[in-house]
Structures are given as structure tokens and as C-alpha cells.
Structure 1
């Protein structure tokens, strides 16, 4: 008989409580572990899992994924089921109205990636968010019907299942239908988010009542979504056509007309996901398998790792002033490169091989001076020979055979554009803001870009999503990713360093505090308690400016131990949950 583990880690206090349910054969029926922390101390998972693990944003979706694995489904089957379950239980970012990226590694070591990123509608243009004087029109790329790219999530799940799935499609969608129709009891965090955004929902959705109630939402309230259940039934019964054609497509187009949107039925019918070759590199004997453009995340992650590889980080220690200074200077240079060179490779020549060349990144770090911070104003994108010029969710899954999936998916902002498709019950994304609305103008995450990421019809907008799989000695080692907008890349980067350099287990690596620098603005954003006072003082004397950021990222990851067991890390910053057997 197997052991089932579903530890839902809430709120991230230093007194987190874990409930570990063990099989009766193991002498214990229920074991309660209380974590008492002095600086950094963690409880280890007492149960060992080697038949499968799912780590994602909600306990409901995590259970759905684990149930699929137990029924004989593989990692991709579980991923499809989790994607639709997150649409229901994590409306801030789980979606059928958005898009994302998948990195896949088979048990035999074969890799692939799926780009189901949203695309600009056919009538989109480079100046669509500018007024007649060339100024950016506030919020037009965020909270209007024109803010939405053509969704890719449903097509992505259909394509992933067609290529790798084992179980019947209908069986993978049905759990989400059940959650939508029967309802689920919301968590404290979701209640808070729904109450916070209530005004936006009312303002942008006249005549609709989705995610609204007369009084305030509270933990334990039942959330029922009947229109969404009907939409999911069409996807269950008709697959891709159930979303990109027929009734749902008509409802999307009707919603566009209500708000002067530009997405058409042709845009929906012409959308297709793209299989792309993974971007790979090496860091101290570990093989990094990650997402290529139009994700900037994979390229940037490899650049960051190459930038710090020759330095003795493990000797310096976690979040010491030397470690922080080196990481910040690497991030500063990599994000500068991102602003110029990264975009949709189907529209723009992206110099991937040059950017991930270790020698290039080593040269970029030569201007780094230990005595003082490098002002971002003095850092420009690197010169490449021959070159012509937050809200998201992630899930990591490994099955019994060792197949692994790392998927990051998004609506962009929390709850996307906040605009629902009337009759269909799901939210539209506001991913068009991820394009460069104007060269040099920052998007909602403060990221700047230029020609490589300009708006063009049918083009995919640049992303920071960084779903990643790591090998060691030809064997699966880690599956990792996170939401967090511009902070995604640095959160994944630091989590990997936490394991490889600082010898943390997976939960420790996810739990510890993080920091972030993205070239512009020239500040280090830090979670409270990230850097000790004396270390912070030394950095500030060198010219580094630090600002409190609140929470950075919500990493969900799986580490494969030397003896072949799965060790999950579910981020305590959210309702993230790990389930294994």
C-alpha cells in the first residue's frame, strides 16, 4: 500500500504546522510536527515518496494531480488535470484564458518544450496603446478588452496530451468540472484576494456577478462557478474546438464587441501552440534544461548561472554581503541584455547561442568592482558580434516512471484584465502589457524593452516565466519554477543556488527569503529579513539601495534525492501544496 502526503502550508509563519498522514503499516497514524525556527531550521518530510509528486498553487489542484497519477496517468496527464483545476481554484492565475510554457523530460532523458504563450490579435499594432502625441495611455494595456492576447492554455493542454498523454482527455478535465459545479471551500488567501479586487470586478464587468457576493468573502465559503463548469464541459467533450470554436468562441467575440476589443473568431481559430527545442547549459556539472524564447527566463537563467559560476559562493554563504553583491551585479547585466535582445524568435532574430555562451557572460562581469555598486545607468546591453539590432502560477510534477513536467502559466496581472467572458465564466488575460508598448517605457513590472518585443500581429509577447528541469550525471535532479512577474527569473536562480551551493533540501531552498534586481529601477528589492543588518550596512556603504518588496515568488519544486525519492518544496508564501505517494 502507498503513503499519501498532502501538506498544505499556509501563510509562511516561523511556526508552520505540517500534517503528515502515514499508512497504518508504519506504526504511526498521524504525526504532527511543529517547526520552531532559530534563524533557519526546518522539519524534514518523514515519509518517502517515489511513485509520484505534484507541487502546485492550491491543495485542491494538487490532489487532482495526485489522483490522476494514482489512476495510472503520467506526468503530462497530471499536468493537464492540474491546469484545469487551477482555473477553478486559483482564479488569480490559473487559467483557460491565458497561456504559458511547458518543459518536459521523459524518464529516458528526452526533452521538449511547448510554447502556449498568448499571441497578439491580427489587428494589433505597435502604437495601439499610445495617444496621438505618442504618450502611453494609462491602463489601456492592463484593464481593457484590448489588453488581451489570444489565449493559448487550452490548445497547449490539447497538444501536450496528444503527444504524451495516456489517460482519456475527458477524465483529465472532469475533476475541474466537479470543482466548478459542486464548489470548493475557499482559503483565507483567496478570500482576501477576492475582497481586495471586488471593486475592479464590479467596475469592469457590468451585469456580471462572477466571483462576487453581497458581503465579504471569508475562509470556508463555498465558491460555485456554474458557467465555468459549462465551458469546461465543452472543452471536455470537444477538445480544442470546445474553446476556439462554437459557443465559447462566440461568447469571447461577443465580449470583445461589448468592450471594443480586437480579438476575432479568426484569431481564435488560427491560434496554435509551438513545440520548441529546449535551451540547455551546464553549471558545475549540472545540466540545466529550460525554456527558449519567447520566454526570456531560460536564457537569462543560464546567463546568471554562468556569471557567478567561477566564484566560491558556497564558501561565502547564503545571503552574505559578498553573495548578494555578486548576484545583484549579475542580475543587473542580464536584465540589461533582456531589454534589447529577447523577443519572439518567429519575428525577431534572438542571439540565444551568443547570450548563453559562458565566455560572453564572463566578459560582462569584468566591469564588476567589489568596492562599489555599478550604477545601472552605466550598464548597457552587451555587444554581440554579428547581431543586428507577478501574477502567474507554476506547477512541478514527477510520475512513478520518472517523467517530469515543469509548467508556468499566467494571466499576467492577478486576475488578468479582471474582465470575464459573459456566459463562459472565465477571466481574460492582460498579456499585451508584456509587449513593449513604446521603446524604453516600463511595463507593469517595471521591465523595459525595445524593437525585439514590439507589438506585431500574431506575435507572442516576451515573458519572464522560467520553468526548468535539472539533471545530474544523466539523471533527473530537480523540477522548479515560480510565478512572480519580473522576479521569476531571479527566484528560480536563487532557489537553484540554494540547493547546489548552499546544500539546502528542497523545502528549505523554497522557504528562505529572496531578493531581486532587474537593472531598472536601480534598487535591490528584498523580502523583510533577507539580509542581516551588518551585511546590509556594508552593501549600503558601497552604494546599493534596498527597498522592501513584500513577498518575492511562490516557488514550487521537486528534488530527487540520491536514493531516488521525491522531496517537494511548496512555497509557504501562498496556499501552495505538495502531494506525493
Structure 2
């Protein structure tokens, strides 16, 4: 084992034996996050939601592949080893910063099928049909992940696609050892999987002999066959032929509306990134149909008006100001953001310095604003927190930031029979009916209404930062509507509060999204004196579980790469 490689995970040392099985002879188990270990790389770094996916990515880089090659290999590997959110049946967004070219962004978000229409989840009386947009075949949009990976690889890749899919194929065919978190998750979802799938005896994540346990081997032969078809036939191995036919058959067996024409027509789309500056740093993030880039830049531009570093990390005044900015940004998001191919998004107006200064001027330094007084249309949206993110930097300094999802944990809960992969339930990310709350208690409006071939609004915020023209940070996270505030806080933690990457990722987070009108801190994340001070300002505190799972890379003052996988999950950084 080379001494130049360093790895980190959140596991306690008592799990070393199981981890050794996970990563075979490729990994050396280092100290856990609880013991303060930061992963350092001299040349390259990969941070993902699962140790096997990180192993796959770092091996591609060690063998001479570039960041896009590693991205493709990681993405397909996550579809095997992290089925709650890793996918080929979903979609996402990519920000890519080459060393010698312009930063680009790729939208491979799912699309509404051709047969979709605005009232499709309403009954004859105009009432929402409970659960129809959440589970089962009708909840699925046309998946974009495979086309996204193939388009990015065609433009920037250097290693043959077949070689990059090979590790995922092997993991599916021969199996991998599941984590403790995964075992608990599979057991919890067993009845849901059985209920939603037509062949209850052929669900890869269900076992009938006993409960799943940490270290069990998960083999997925049908998924391996699907990956083999993509290896052999590229895009047509998924969007045409046997896989597409199996997918459409699964839809028709239920009440789904995806047809072969939908599959054949799908195309990922290259878009112009959202760009801006914060305290001398250049920021690149994702534009519509993601709301993440615009919302993040609004937050950062407004933050530049306040001495957040001097006020201190998690001090009442700091959280108050962050909350007031978030309140206004999420109201703007609600009113103005949707798929820019279908909705006129006023990007320049939302990012105008004068407009944002006027928003700052509305903020009282010691008193909370009532969200009802923040003007916006009654609309907001949140996607499930079971998204996933990965960050990669290769040996030449090329960097990629990718956030991808199938929406809720395990998407629609429907496995494509004979193909072995889960379909998304992204149709719930649309507004099923203006003014009616979705499953998360949030309202919807016309900007995000269902239309054929429209992409649903997202909060995904893959982001890359530069300092003096050089790479500085690669960052992103899952977390639904908390994605934006998690990325925002991670940047503040480094830039304003002087944290290293591990500290910035693992520190407790807080969230506010305009409505409902609560500050949501992670349980135990704020001191009682801080909560009391915020309440005296007029804020309402409502503690919640963990927020986000940030996977990020920082170029430190020595020019070394600091990789951090979030200790809230099984996330793992690997570098050399």
C-alpha cells in the first residue's frame, strides 16, 4: 500500500474489520472524523457518499484518467452501491472547471413525459390524489443521468466509456458489502418495496430469509446486465433497445406514462453557469432549472454587506442576519424560478447589486422579519433530502462538482423488472396544483407547473470557487431545500470563519427557507444562550435532524487538496 494515499470516513475504529472487507486491499482505514482526521492529497481527490464509489474514482485518476473520466465511473458506481440516491434512473447537474478552458455546466435533470399535463395528479373535482406523484410508475420523469454522463464524456473524457463503466458492472455482478446505515435503510423500506413492485420476489434490496446486516453482500445481476448494455451500446444501450423496452413495460404495468418516444427524445443540455464574486473569490454554480446558483449568489452578495467573520460562527447576530437573508432569497426563489426553457427567469434582476442592496436595507439588525411581510407569491418547493453529491479534482487540476438524485429516498420505489434499477419520483418536484402543499408542506405555483418535456425545479447547487484565477474549492450536498443553505454555510465557514475543509463540512448547520417561518438548527447544534437570544429577536426555533451531507475539496494555503466527506453519512474522501 502506497504511503502517499490517505483515506477518511466517519466510521469508528471498532468497524475497521468490516471496512477492510469494503475496500479490499486498496484502502487503509485512518482515523475517523470524530478524531479530527483531514484527508490530504498532493495531486488528486475524490469525495463521494460511499467508500466503494470513492475507490472507483481515485483508481481512475491514479491510472491517468481525468476528472470527467472519474465522474463517469463514480456516477455509475453510485447507481450500484448507493441506490437511495445514486442512479441511472434519475438526473442531476454538473459544474466542470478545466484548467485550460471555460467553466461549463450540464443540465441532465429529468423531464416530464410527452403525455404529462398540469392537472394529472388531480381528481375530477380538482383535488390532489394523495401519493400519486410520490410512488409508483406515474411519479417518474424521463431519466437523464445516462445521457448526461455520455454527453460529458464525449466532450471531455479521455478513457473509453466501456472501461469507466466496468467497475460499476463488477460491483453489481459480484456484489459489494453494505454499510450499517444501508442495512437499516433496506430493512426499513422492505414493505414499501414489496407494495410498489409487481414482482415482489425479484427486488434486489429485499431479502426474505432474515434482516439485512452490516457487511452483507449485495449482488444485483439485472443491474449488471443493464450496465453491460450501456457498455456495449452507449446511449442506445439505455434509451433504446432492451433497457428502454423494459422501462416502458414497467411503466405500462402500472399507471406510468413514459413511452419509447420519451426515452429516444431525451437530451441533456449544456447551460451557462451562474457566476459571481464573494470576498475576492470567483463563484461558479448551476443556473435554472436549478434554483441553487441564483439563490447562492444572492446570499453571498448580500453577505458581503456584513462582517460575518467578526460577528463569529453561530453567534446569535450571525444567525439572525443569515436567516433574514435566506428569508428574502427563498421568497424570490419561490416567485421567479423554474425551467428557463418554459418560464422567463429574471436572472439579471435577481442578481443585480442594487436590488440586493435594497433587500439588505430591509433587514433590521436586531429584530426578526415576519415572513408574511416578505413579498412573494405563495409558492415554494423542496425536493427530498435523499440526493447525493460528489466532488473530484484530478492530477492536472481539472475539477468537477456533481449533484444527482432520484428525488425521495429510492425514488418511486419501483425497480424496472429485468433491468434492476430504481426509477425516480421527480414528478412530485413539479407543482401538482397551485396553492396546494406538496408532501413537504410547501406550496406550488405556475412557474413550476407541469408541462410536457419541462424540467422540474431543483435546489441542487454544485459549485466551484476560484481564488486569484486558481482552483479554490469544489462543494455541494444533498438536502432538498437545505442544499442551498448548506453550500452557503460551508463557504462562509471557510472564507469568513477560517475553518479547514473538515471543520467546515462537519460543523453544525442551521436553515431557514422563508416558509414555514422557523429557524431549523440541527439538534444540539446551537447553544441555549444563542437560541434564547434569537428568540428575543423574534425568531422561532425548531430543532431537526441532520442537515445535508456535504462532500467538498479545498485547496489550502500550501497548495494541497483537503478532502472532506460529511460525517453525517457514509461519505468518504480519497486522495493521492
TM range (shorter): over 0.9
The 5 A counterparts of 1:136-175 are 136-175=128-167
Contact in 2 for aligned 1:84/1:95 (Cα 8 Å): yes
Distance in 1, Cα, partners of 2:15 & 2:491: 23
Distance in 2, Cα, partners of 1:409 & 1:479: 15
Provide, for residues 475-534 of structure 1, a one-character-per-residue CA deviation record: whole Å limited to 9, x for no partner: 100000000111100000000000000000011100000111111111111111221111
Measured at CA, do residues 265 and 31 of structure 1 come closer, stay the same or move farther in structure 2, by a change above 3 Å?
Answer: closer
Q: What's 1:261 paired with? A: 256
Instruction: Please state how far the C-alpha of 1:50 moved relative to its aligned partner.
Output: 2.4
Q: Aligned residues, how many?
A: 559
Could you tell me which of 230, 238, 246 is aligned with 2:233? 238
The 5 A counterparts of 1:301-312 are 301-312=296-307
Q: What's 2:207 paired with? A: 213
Please say which of residues 289-298 and 100-109 is displaced more in the overlay: 100-109
Instruction: Please state how far the C-alpha of 1:67 moved relative to its aligned partner.
Output: 0.5
The 5 A counterparts of 1:184-203 are 184-203=176-195
Q: What's 1:381 paired with? A: 376
Contiguous gaps of at least 5 residues in structure 2:
21-26, 378-384
Pair 1:521-2:522 in alignment: no
Q: What's 2:107 paired with? A: 115
Pair 1:135-2:127 in alignment: yes
Provide, for residues 139-158 of structure 1, a one-character-per-residue CA deviation record: whole Å limited to 9, x for no partner: 11101211100000000000
Pair 1:6-2:7 in alignment: yes
Distance in 2, Cα, partners of 1:363 & 1:135: 40
Pair 1:248-2:243 in alignment: yes
Pair 1:84-2:85 in alignment: no
Distance in 1, Cα, partners of 2:4 & 2:211: 38
Q: What's 1:566 paired with? A: 561
The 5 A counterparts of 1:221-370 are 221-370=216-365
Measured at CA, do residues 455 and 562 of structure 1 come closer, stay the same or move farther in structure 2, by a change above 3 Å?
Answer: same
Provide, for residues 424-453 of structure 1, a one-character-per-residue CA deviation record: whole Å limited to 9, x for no partner: 000010001111111233333444332111
Measured at CA, do residues 553 and 309 of structure 1 come closer, stay the same or move farther in structure 2, by a change above 3 Å?
Answer: same
Provide, for residues 184-206 of structure 1, a one-character-per-residue CA deviation record: whole Å limited to 9, x for no partner: 11000111111111110011013
Distance in 2, Cα, partners of 1:171 & 1:367: 55
Measured at CA, do residues 337 and 496 of structure 1 come closer, stay the same or move farther in structure 2, by a change above 3 Å?
Answer: same
Could you tell me which of 419, 435, 443 is aligned with 1:440? 435
Which secondary structure state, in structure 2, belongs to the residue aligned with residue 502 of structure 1? coil
Contact in 2 for aligned 1:6/1:63 (Cα 8 Å): no
Distance in 2, Cα, partners of 1:112 & 1:160: 10
Instruction: Please state how far the C-alpha of 1:44 moved relative to its aligned partner.
Output: 4.1
Q: What's 1:496 paired with? A: 491
Q: What's 1:397 paired with? A: 392
Could you tell me which of 522, 543, 560 is aligned with 1:548? 543
Pair 1:478-2:488 in alignment: no
Instruction: Please state how far the C-alpha of 1:137 moved relative to its aligned partner.
Output: 1.4
Provide, for residues 346-372 of structure 1, a one-character-per-residue CA deviation record: whole Å limited to 9, x for no partner: 111111111112221221232222332
Distance in 1, Cα, partners of 2:442 & 2:33: 38
Distance in 2, Cα, partners of 1:370 & 1:136: 42
Contiguous gaps of at least 5 residues in structure 1:
22-28, 383-389
Distance in 1, Cα, partners of 2:142 & 2:544: 31
TM-score, normalised with respect to structure 1: 0.93
Please say which of residues 530-539 and 128-137 is displaced more in the overlay: 128-137
Instruction: Please state how far the C-alpha of 1:109 moved relative to its aligned partner.
Output: 5.0
TM-score, normalised with respect to structure 2: 0.94
